[in-house]
Amino acid sequence: RVTDQNFLALPTKGTALALKAKVLVYAASPLYNGGFTEALALTNPSGKKLFSPKDDSKWQTALTALEEFINFSGGKYELYKVNTNGVYDVDKTLYELFMKYNNEIVWANPNQLWGDVGGEGTQRRATPRSQGQGFACIAVTQELVDDFFMNDGLPISESPNYSETGFSVAGEDPTGRTETGTYRMWVKREPRFYQSVFYHGRKWHVTNGVVKFNKGNGNDNSAADYPWSGYLMYKRLSRIVHNTGSNPKTDYHPSIIFRLAEFYLLYAEALNEVRPSDPKIIEYIDKIRERAGIPKLSVIKPGIIGNKELQREAIRREVRVELCMEGQRYFDVRRWMIAENAVGEGVQAGPFFGMNMGAATENEFFKNRLNINRRHFLSKSAVGLGSMALGSLLMPGLFRGDEESLAQLPLGLPHFAPKAKRVIYLFQNGAPSQLETFDYKPLLNKMAGEDLPESIRGGQRLTGMTSGQTKFPLIGSYFDFKQYGQSGAWVSEMFPNMAKIVDE
């Protein structure tokens, strides 16, 4: 294990063993192991099949590699834990885990400016608009919020502690993690929830100011920088940086690629596929749950022990929560081939949900859940069309749409299996702008060269490219507009032929 601070980013033997084990788990998973029937027909130019038929022995191969890594990890890696005055501090543990190099990290990238709140860094993108001009654009879906356990270790559908009625009263939350008056949906949740999700009415860690997302509270949807779901990502954010005054603006910390907890869960997954009666399956899940500060499955759900399907479900649920916001979920639901299941089942087909960001009052904010359809989601998405095309090749069923909704359309829409083999990106830098083609703006031309009025900008950023500018001069059209035809339509000189037929 590398301990020299100058070489922490270098991959080690442990990194190599971990990578080998993870690749073999992917090879054993349904997407690459006979489950993706369309792929079984794919061949290379020589006619060799690219995907092999199902082979259950691949799980044993993956299990052997995971056992090799776990045996090697003894004395080198361990689940990170913090004790305060001799007592285990779960909240400090779950926060500090991502703030510095520690013995749980198998491999990490040291060059991630996660903590930059003065530029375009992730920290600023997950900061509310009212807190030092945050961009507030990394939202969390209601589905992920619902997947976190309660403090009794049970899902919200099984726990008597869960409620969506009213707000907490004094003394209702003995842990002190929530304020009096918190919506009960967010009270008595597990510690990982509070370290991962920032919700309406919570206090921001630096200013201690209450942040609300409904209309009129400085963080609503009246400007571009807001979380569409009413929740912000909170996991991995530094609690010392703030984009005002003399506060620190940057806090470097490693971006974790592999950590031991992930491989404990991969080990439980592979072992369950090979020997579902092995007690180590629950033992390794419980190592994660114990560190997370919730009861062990062996205590609260002994009935699932030895049941392959129920243990598989428990493993996937634990992976969902433990590794949320670490870039893993997208790939997991595809290798398991469950991505096209309904969002309400914890995966990715159909509408997404969030709180009502358009609500004028707090009661409406809580009462009416916002249904985010796929078109709305993609309009807010940063993955780009290239990633969508790749996704369509990996899991075409996701793109069928809701059959009932399609049936209601006048003509119906055909569904064909995606045929795309290449994705071409067109970056048309220098194309004529809208205001030089179809959008006549005489006032803009009149004000050309003047600075953009503060009443228009409202202190918000315009683009990432202008983040360092102090002046924002207006620019009018380079082309003249004239009125043509009986309609008197304004047409740019760029379109002389269109001007002749403007009435038609």
Residue 405 pLDDT exceeds 70: no
Residue 167 pLDDT exceeds 80: yes
Q: Within 10 A of 405 (CB to CB), how many other CB atoms are there?
A: 11
Strands of 27-171 (E only): list them.
83-84, 87-88, 105-109
Same domain, 185 and 330: no
Q: Has residue 180 been placed in a domain?
A: yes
Same domain, 59 and 160: no
Same domain, 31 and 166: no
User: In whole angstroms, what is the distance from residue 266 CA to residue 15 CA?
Assistant: 15
Any idea what DSSP says for residue 53? P
Same domain, 291 and 180: no
Overall average pLDDT of the 347-369 stretch: 81
Same domain, 276 and 237: no
CATH code, domain with 53: 1.25.40.900
Q: Has residue 102 been placed in a domain?
A: no
Assign 3-class secondary structure to 146-178. Answer: HHCCECCCCCCCCCCCCCCCCECCCCCCCCCCC
- As for how many domains the chain has, the answer is 3
CA torsion sign for 112, 117, 118, 121 is positive
Overall average pLDDT of the 188-199 stretch: 98
Q: Has residue 454 been placed in a domain?
A: yes
Same domain, 216 and 82: no
Residue 265 pLDDT exceeds 90: yes
Residue 376 pLDDT exceeds 90: no
Looking at 90-99, 181-190, 428-437, which range is the least confident one? 428-437
Residue 95 pLDDT exceeds 90: yes
Q: How confident is the model at residue 408 (pLDDT cuts 50, 70, 90)?
A: very low
Residue 420 pLDDT exceeds 70: yes
Same domain, 324 and 365: no
Q: Has residue 383 been placed in a domain?
A: no
Residue 160 pLDDT exceeds 80: yes
Residue 335 sits in which domain range?
5-94+257-345
Looking at 198-207, 212-221, 272-281, 348-357, which range is the least confident one? 348-357
Selection from 362, 368, 370, 369 nearest residue 167 by Cα: 362
Same domain, 79 and 37: yes
Mean pLDDT rounded to a whole number for the chain: 87
Overall average pLDDT of the 112-133 stretch: 79
pLDDT, position 187: 97
Q: How confident is the model at residue 327 (pLDDT cuts 50, 70, 90)?
A: very high
Q: Has residue 408 been placed in a domain?
A: no
Residue 407 pLDDT exceeds 50: no
Same domain, 263 and 357: no
Assign 3-class secondary structure to 237-285. Answer: CCCCCCCCCCCCCCCCCCEEEEEHHHHHHHHHHHHHHHCCCCCHHHHHH
User: In whole angstroms, what is the distance from residue 431 CA to residue 191 CA?
Assistant: 51
CA triple 103-236-205, angle to 5 deg:
120
Residue 109 pLDDT exceeds 50: yes
Same domain, 224 and 369: yes
Overall average pLDDT of the 345-353 stretch: 73
Overall average pLDDT of the 23-46 stretch: 93
Q: Has residue 262 been placed in a domain?
A: yes
Q: Has residue 88 been placed in a domain?
A: yes
Residue for token pair 């002046």? 471
Max CA-CA distance within the chain? Answer: 86
